[in-house]
């Protein structure tokens, strides 16, 4: 991961220079017109944007068994929310702290959502707190779909697709322009919400009757109180602190993870696996489609990742291209050996490379730039893990230029307490980062990186998938998307001594770059 956050920045910028900007289709313009009409019908975008926070209280009924209870929702722009449903004593609470999506219910307890439920949850959070207003800034796509009817009312339909590929359908009354329904994915199911009984509250049209369908469960909500711009502290959205189970000292745990790096290096040299990188773009219908792909074989040597390209767009490389890969690796191995020899020489002379630009970046370097929040114990992939959120530390003082990037991120991290290894990371860019002072490019706020890992052979956590979603401004002018999925697999363990001999031979394949740990 850290490779992507450090030396990969310049690659991303260079890649973006050759990307073609997507054209705005006629349907997108029409969709934009529908959204503007809806904002006007609700009271005007300026008035709506001025509502920074909201509190909704009401009662709820589940018609299938006549269970009754209370409903509440609090939101704060741009994407903070907590929704609570209490039916006959069974409570379900879902929220977004801005760093992680979490859920608590009376059956499964409290947990941090991962995978698709997490991606879906962030789109739901943005919609509840800010509606669709920032879709252009977030580089989401909107496309007008065929007209339909909702509960007997003629409706215009807009498909909104986020950079992470999550799609929401929004339905608006053809006559009044008011929202009638939204359909937002929720893990393995879909949340369908119908709105009616609009009344004016502080100059804004607010629905006072809401019908929510999640899977096969329908809930009818009657709103009895809506407050705008209420005072809501960040802590109101934080991961709830309900467990009394003792936690390890987090700084000590991070120190142990850092010290465990040498053991991870040793284990990595026993593994090879395949990495497939797929670039994705929006098509004219607002769907994310695969554009091109590359596959690589990965091995590790002396703390470096050796990468050999084996496929391009699903086709094996030609013999000539493979030969070029071999030559490139031979050069990389010589460079590795030269650097190692230089390190040993400096060590013998009593100096160190700790302040070198080539020093391997560690996850603890990123967390050193962060404030750590809400530590908790959870289960992840059948393992006990420590999970905590992080956000930029205002007191952080970067030394190297690339270290400034670390202080602009927020997210959540999962650490296997027994293995002292990172199991999962979600990162979001909460502030723009300029490359070459912004003259070359800048990474815009809202970009994200998710790294999924799994435990292999009961000894090491290896990546299974990464999702990269970046918004890049080129030459101070053009915003472009860089959307990638990276999949890993075909893990193989081998005898490290015999393989080291291959690494020194011309037939060795790959290219060198610092590994992402």
Per-residue model confidence as pLDDT tens digits over 51-67: 999 999 999 999 999 99
Q: Give the residue with greater pLDDT, 504 vs 74.
A: 74
Per-residue model confidence as pLDDT tens digits over 420-452: 999 999 998 888 887 766 556 678 888 889 999
Q: Give the residue with greater pLDDT, 442 vs 38.
A: 38
Give the model's pLDDT for residue 6. 43
Give the model's pLDDT for residue 438. 57
- Do residues 271 and 303 lie in contact, with contact meaning Cβ atoms separated by under 8 Å? no
Which pLDDT band, with edges at 50, 70 and 90, does 170 fall under?
A: very high
Mean pLDDT, rounded, for 192-203: 97
In three-state secondary structure terms, 314 is coil
Mean pLDDT, rounded, for 492-503: 59
Which pLDDT band, with edges at 50, 70 and 90, does 361 fall under?
A: low
Tell me the C-alpha distance between 12 and 299, whole Å: 23
First to last CA, the chain: 6
Give the model's pLDDT for residue 241. 74
Give the model's pLDDT for residue 296. 94
Which pLDDT band, with edges at 50, 70 and 90, does 212 fall under?
A: very high
Mean pLDDT, rounded, for 203-215: 96
Mean pLDDT, rounded, for 174-194: 96
Q: Give the residue with greater pLDDT, 13 vs 71.
A: 71
- pTM for this predicted structure: 0.76
Give the model's pLDDT for residue 148. 96
Tell me the C-alpha distance between 54 and 438, whole Å: 36
Per-residue model confidence as pLDDT tens digits over 319-339: 999 999 888 888 888 888 888
Give the model's pLDDT for residue 352. 54
- Do residues 249 and 263 lie in contact, with contact meaning Cβ atoms separated by under 8 Å? no
Give the model's pLDDT for residue 447. 86
Nearest CA to 401 out of 17, 7, 12, 1 is that of 7
Mean pLDDT, rounded, for 308-316: 93
Q: How many CB atoms lie within 10 A of CB 72?
A: 16
Mean pLDDT, rounded, for 107-127: 91
Task: Please enumerate in sequence order all residues whose Cβ is within 8 A of that of 71, keeping only pairs 6 or more positions apart, or say none.
Answer: 56, 57, 58, 59, 60, 84, 85, 86, 219, 221
In three-state secondary structure terms, 474 is strand
Give the model's pLDDT for residue 243. 61
Residue 125 has pLDDT above 80, yes or no: yes
Task: Please enumerate in sequence order all residues whose Cβ is within 8 A of that of 209, keeping only pairs 6 or more positions apart, or say none.
Answer: 195, 196, 197, 220, 221, 222, 223
Average pLDDT of the residues of the chain: 84
Q: Give the residue with greater pLDDT, 515 vs 409.
A: 409
Which of 28-32, 142-146, 248-252, 477-481 is the least confident region? 477-481
> How much of the chain exceeds pLDDT 90, in percent?
50
* Domains in the chain, CATH or no CATH each: 2-18+243-514 (no CATH), 43-237 (2.50.20.10)
Tokens 């596959």 -> residue = 295
Tokens of 160: 């909104």
Nearest CA to 413 out of 428, 431, 427 is that of 427
- Do residues 84 and 104 lie in contact, with contact meaning Cβ atoms separated by under 8 Å? no
Tokens of 123: 């789109």
Give the model's pLDDT for residue 470. 85
- Do residues 278 and 295 lie in contact, with contact meaning Cβ atoms separated by under 8 Å? no
Residue 137 has pLDDT above 90, yes or no: no
Give the model's pLDDT for residue 505. 53
Q: Give the residue with greater pLDDT, 275 vs 439.
A: 275
Give the model's pLDDT for residue 481. 74
Q: How many residues does the chain have?
A: 517
Nearest CA to 57 out of 203, 201, 242, 233 is that of 201
Tokens of 219: 């809930």
In three-state secondary structure terms, 228 is strand
Give the model's pLDDT for residue 299. 87
Residue 475 has pLDDT above 70, yes or no: no
Residue 203 has pLDDT above 70, yes or no: yes
Nearest CA to 71 out of 82, 81, 58 is that of 58
Per-residue model confidence as pLDDT tens digits over 363-400: 667 788 888 888 898 989 889 999 999 999 888 888 77
Nearest CA to 51 out of 129, 112, 110 is that of 129
Mean pLDDT, rounded, for 88-102: 92
- Do residues 79 and 96 lie in contact, with contact meaning Cβ atoms separated by under 8 Å? yes
Which pLDDT band, with edges at 50, 70 and 90, does 251 fall under?
A: confident
- Do residues 387 and 414 lie in contact, with contact meaning Cβ atoms separated by under 8 Å? yes
Residue 288 has pLDDT above 50, yes or no: yes
Which of 116-120, 271-275, 279-283, 460-464 is the least confident region? 279-283
């Amino acid at each position: 991961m850290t490779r992507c956050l450090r030396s990969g920045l310049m690659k991303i910028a260079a890649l973006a220079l050759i990307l073609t900007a997507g054209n705005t289709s006629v349907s997108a313009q029409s969709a934009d017109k529908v959204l503007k009409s809806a904002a006007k019908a609700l009271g005007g975008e300026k008035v709506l944007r001025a509502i920074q926070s909201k509190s909704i209280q009401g009662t709820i009924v589940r018609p299938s068994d006549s269970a009754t209870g209370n409903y509440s929702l609090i939101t704060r722009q741009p994407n903070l929310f907590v929704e609570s449903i209490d039916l006959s004593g069974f409570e379900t609470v879902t929220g977004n702290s801005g760093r992680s999506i979490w859920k608590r219910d009376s059956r499964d307890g409290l947990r941090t959502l991962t995978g698709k439920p997490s991606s879906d949850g962030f789109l739901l959070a943005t919609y509840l707190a800010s509606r669709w207003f920032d879709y252009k800034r977030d580089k989401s796509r909107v496309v007008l779909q065929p007209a339909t009817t909702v509960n007997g009312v003629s409706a215009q339909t807009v498909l909104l697709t986020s950079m992470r590929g999550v799609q929401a359908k929004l339905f608006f009354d053809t006559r009044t322009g008011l929202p009638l329904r939204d359909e937002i994915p929720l893990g393995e199911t879909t949340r369908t919400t119908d709105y009616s009984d609009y009344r004016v509250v502080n100059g804004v049209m607010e629905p006072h009757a809401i019908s929510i369908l999640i899977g096969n469960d329908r809930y009818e909500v009657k709103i009895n109180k809506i407050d705008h711009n209420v005072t809501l502290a960040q802590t109101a959205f934080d991961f709830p602190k309900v467990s009394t189970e003792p936690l390890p000292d987090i700084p000590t745990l991070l120190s142990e993870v850092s010290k465990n790096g040498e053991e991870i290096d040793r284990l990595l040299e026993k593994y090879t696996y395949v990495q497939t990188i797929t670039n994705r773009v929006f098509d004219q219908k607002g769907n994310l489609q695969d554009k091109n792909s590359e596959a690589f074989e990965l091995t590790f040597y002396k703390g470096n990742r050796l990468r050999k390209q084996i496929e391009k767009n699903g086709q094996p490389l030609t013999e000539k291209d493979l030969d070029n890969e071999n030559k490139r690796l031979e050069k990389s191995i010589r460079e590795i050996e030269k650097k190692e020899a230089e390190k040993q020489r400096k060590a013998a002379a009593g100096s160190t490379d700790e302040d070198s630009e080539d020093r391997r970046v560690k996850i603890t370097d990123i967390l050193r730039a962060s404030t750590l929040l809400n530590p908790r114990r959870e289960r992840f992939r059948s393992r006990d893990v420590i999970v905590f959120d992080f956000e930029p530390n205002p007191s952080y003082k970067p030394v190297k230029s690339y270290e400034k990037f670390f202080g602009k991120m927020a997210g959540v991290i999962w650490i296997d307490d027994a293995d002292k290894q990172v199991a999962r990371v979600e990162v979001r860019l909460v502030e723009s980062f300029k490359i070459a002072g912004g003259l070359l490019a800048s990474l815009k706020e809202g970009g994200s990186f998710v790294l999924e890992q799994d435990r292999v052979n009961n000894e090491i956590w290896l990546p299974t998938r990464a999702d990269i979603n970046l918004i890049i401004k080129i030459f101070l002018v053009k915003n472009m998307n860089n959307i990638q999925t990276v999949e890993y697999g075909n893990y193989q363990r081998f005898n490290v001594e015999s393989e080291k001999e291959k690494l020194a031979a011309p037939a060795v394949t790959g290219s060198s770059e610092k590994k992402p740990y």
